[in-house]
Structure 1
Amino acid sequence: MKIISTNIGARKEIDWKGTLITTGIFKFPVDTPIFLDFEDVKGDEISDRENHGGILQATYVYSVKHYDHFKPLYPNLEWQLGMFGENLTMDDLDETKIHVGDTFKVGNAIIEATLQRDPCLKLGVRFNDMKIIKQFWNTTFCGVYFKVIQPGKVTVGDVFVQIKSCLENPTIADLYLAKRVDTGA
C-alpha cells in the first residue's frame, strides 16, 4: 500500500437546504508532507469532534480503487482525491484484509487500524446528494481509521510497511458490516 495523495481540509460552512452545516470533509491534495499526530492530522479541520478525530480516529485512509465504484454513479461531479474526506489516499487499501490492531510504519509515523468509517450527512453534503450514504453502506469500501502510535510526517510515495498483524481480530469490513446490520442500513 502506497500513499498517492495527502489531503487536508479547511473549515467550511455550507447552506444545506436551509441548515448551516460546518464541516471539514472538503479535503484537497497538498504538495507537502502532512503530520499525523495522536488525535488528528496537523492543519486539518475536524468540525465534529464527537464523531471524528480523537485517539481512535486520528487519521482516515481510503483507497483510490474505491473511487472507480462511485465515479459512474456521479459522472457530473468534479472528482479529485480527498473526496471521501480521507487524509491519505492509497493506491490499494482492502478493508477485508486489514484487521483491527494491524500496525504499520509509514513515513516517520506508526499507525494502528482501529475502526471503519460510517457514512454520515456530511458525506451527502460533499457529494451534493444524500443517495451516496446508502450507496456507501452497500459496499465494504468504508476506508480505515487509524490510531497514531508514533506521530510523524508522511508524504506521497510513502509505503505502508506492516509491523504487526492481528489475524485473530475482526477485519475493518467485518466491523462495518456488523454496524450496517445494527443500523438497519
Structure 2
Amino acid sequence: MQWSVEGPFIRERLLRLPGTDKASAIDKQRAQGDVWLDLDGLQGDRVADRRFHGGPDRSLCHYPVEHYRVWLDLFPHLQSLGPAAFGENLSTRGLDERQVCIGDRFGWGDALIEVSQPRSPCSNLDRRHNARGLARQLARSGRTGWLYRTLKPGVITPGAELQLLERPCPNASVLRVWRSFVDDAVSDADLGWLQELQPLASEYRSRFRQRLDARRRLQDQGALF
C-alpha cells in the first residue's frame, strides 16, 4: 500500500513562540529539494529541546491532514490549517491513528522508517496557534499523530510516496497505545503486553512497566493486611 505525502517539512532556524522567549522549531516549512534523513532526523531540521523532540526514537513526526478539519471547526479563529501546522515532518490522507500500528515499517524515499510511538501533544501547539486547550483536545481525541525511528537512512525527495512494507504488531494501533497511556483503568494484562512491546519506544515501555509495578506493590500490601 502506498500514500501520497505532503513534505518533507523542516525548520532550519529556531523561532520564538508567540508571546514568549522560548525557542521552537514547530513552524516547519516545505523543503525546497532533496533532504537526507538519518538516525536523528532530517538534515537541517532544528530541534529546540532534545528532552522531548528528536533523537533515535523521534526522528520524524507524522500528522494526518484530515484532522485539521476537526480543529478548524473547534477553533474557527485559526481560519486555515494545513500540513506542517502542528510541526510535523510529513502528512498524508487516508492514514490515521486507528490504522497505523507501532512497529509498522514504511519505505519513504530511499529510507526505511518504523513507527515508534504516539506523538505526545504539548503546550507549544497552544502558543503557536494562540489556541488555549488545543493540545489537551488532541490528547483527549486521540488525534495525536505519531513518531518514527529511522532504520535505514536515505534521501527523501519531495513527492516521494510512503509505502507500507511490514506490520509485525497488527493489534498495537497508535490509538490503542495512546488510549492505554492516558487511561488509568487500563487492565494489568494490557500493561504487561505494552511493557513487552519491543517496537514501542523505551520511554513508553518504561512508563507502562512503572504503572504495572506500582499496582503490584499495592496488591502485595493489600494481601499483607
Task: Tell me the TM-score normalised to structure 1 length.
Answer: 0.88
State the alpha-carbon separation in 2 of the partners of residues 47 and 169 from structure 1.
Answer: 34
Partner AA of 1:163 in structure 2: L
Matched position secondary structure for 1:55: coil
State the alpha-carbon separation in 2 of the partners of residues 80 and 174 from structure 1.
Answer: 25
**Residues 5 and 122 (structure 1), Cα distance of their counterparts in 2 relative to 1, 3 Å cut:** same
1:37 maps to 2:38: yes
- Kindly report structure 1 stretches of 4+ aligned residues shifted beyond 4 Å: none
Structure 1 gap ranges (5+): none
Tell me what 1:58 maps to. Answer: 59
Tell me what 1:14 maps to. Answer: 17
**Superposed, which structure 2 residues align to 1:1-185 within 5 Å?**
1-9=3-11, 10-14=13-17, 16=19, 19-77=20-78, 78-168=80-170, 170-181=172-183
State the alpha-carbon separation in 2 of the partners of residues 144 and 128 from structure 1.
Answer: 23
RMSD of aligned Cα (Å)? 1.7
Structure 2 gap ranges (5+): 185-225
% of aligned pairs identical? 27
Contact 1:29 1:81 in 2 (8 A): no
Partner AA of 2:9 in structure 1: N
State the alpha-carbon separation in 2 of the partners of residues 163 and 82 from structure 1.
Answer: 25
Structure of greater relative contact order (alpha carbons < 8 Å, 6+ residues apart): 1
State the alpha-carbon separation in 2 of the partners of residues 86 and 98 from structure 1.
Answer: 16
Partner AA of 2:8 in structure 1: T
Contact 2:31 2:158 in 1 (8 A): no
Higher helix share: 2
State the alpha-carbon separation in 2 of the partners of residues 139 and 15 from structure 1.
Answer: 25
Task: Tell me the TM-score normalised to structure 2 length.
Answer: 0.74
Matched position secondary structure for 1:112: strand
- TM-aligned CA deviation for residue 169 of structure 1: 5.1
- Bigger radius of gyration: 2
**Residues 167 and 29 (structure 1), Cα distance of their counterparts in 2 relative to 1, 3 Å cut:** same
